[in-house]
Amino acid sequence: MKFHYYLLINQAAGSGSGKKVADKIIPLFAEKNLTYSVYYSKWKGHDAQIAEELAEDTLKEWTEETREQEAPFPLLVIVGGDGTLHQVLNTFHQLKVNFPVAYIPAGSGNDFARGIGLSRNAVKALENVLAATEPQEINLLSYEEKISDRQGVVVNNFGIGLDAAIVHATNHSNAKTQLNKYKLGSLSYIFSILRVFFVQKGFPILVETSGKQVSLEKAFLCTATNHPYFGGGVAIAPTADIAKPTIDFVVVERINLFKILWIALLLTQKKQLHSKNFHHFTTSKLRIVSTTSQYGQEDGEDTEKQPFDLQLSTKKQLFWCNLTL
């Protein structure tokens, strides 16, 4: 089957890693005599705009009819970080289309690539894409937030509490912009952790899973995920499996510093489930209610403080890859 590859490239991803990855892989398309077009994302939100324009004029859904057509199939190849992937797939979600996409990781965390077992080496990831003969279904999280009347999809995780407050502090830090110029953006994240950790308070939440309700009075960090990783490789939910249509929800309670450090140590050994202050739920549908205003984050995109009535389920997305899940 023939393809025309549409490369959507976020050069700024990963503090400039997007440009380096693009410089590596674009010549390979020419060397392999592949037909392609290149679209560069130039500002925040441009990823979504390009995706919408391609969705309206160029891309096609994967069907038996398109499989057998003689004309080259238009395949979107996303080159960027998890945030770039988030923007594109949410654009498709709002348009109610499900185009297959390929992904070449070029971010700083690349948790989604870890979660699906895709190489973070750009050339190997491209080889994986070119070796595939058909798309694979991969489970994402689909959410609906009743209070703010928002909905969308998440490729990694939806967080409320500590991780969201850290993301908010980082994204709104003047230091981040300056440090990114010197490719030291990760330092702004560390500064935000130190700044937020001691001021984030415990808050009450209601968790509803498969008809059962659990109330927790001092939630500190709350993360719903569909694969093990968050924060650039931390296995927050080591038993999560993206091949299964399930949601893994983790809650860490607000406890004293020594107990938090103990859980952090257990995290490095993937033994955090042994702590009584670490709660883990696996379910097909999840509802989280927080009556007190908290920061939220979805794939690193933060929201202002608000109460939450959040409902999550899973949604299948076609990825053009050659993986064993």
> Where are the CATH 3.40.50.10330 domain residues in the chain?
3-134
The CA distance from 251 to 234, in Å, is 15
**Residue 313: which of 174, 178, 133, 158 has the closest Cα?**
158
Within 13 Å and on the Cβ side, how many CA atoms surround 6?
20
Backbone angles phi, psi at 88, to 5 degrees: -65, -50
**Per-residue pLDDT of the chain in tens (325 residues, 90 and over written 9):** 899 999 999 999 987 899 999 999 999 999 999 999 999 999 989 999 999 999 999 999 999 888 888 899 999 999 999 999 999 999 999 999 999 999 999 988 899 999 999 999 999 999 999 999 999 999 999 999 999 999 999 999 999 998 899 888 877 665 555 545 545 455 555 566 667 887 889 999 999 998 899 999 999 999 999 999 987 788 889 899 999 999 999 999 987 777 777 767 767 777 776 678 889 999 999 999 999 999 999 998 889 999 999 999 999 999 999 887 6
The CA distance from 256 to 324, in Å, is 42
Q: Which residues pair with 192 in a beta bridge?
A: none
Answer whether 0.85 is exceeded by the pTM.
Answer: yes
3-134, what's its fold? Answer: Rossmann fold (3.40.50)
> Where are the CATH 2.60.200.40 domain residues in the chain?
143-317
Dump strand ranges (E) for 26-119. 35-41, 73-80, 101-105
Cβ proximity of 55 and 47 under 8 Å: no
CATH classification of 143-317, choosing from 2.60.200.40, 2.40.50.140, 1.20.1250.20, 3.90.1150.10? 2.60.200.40
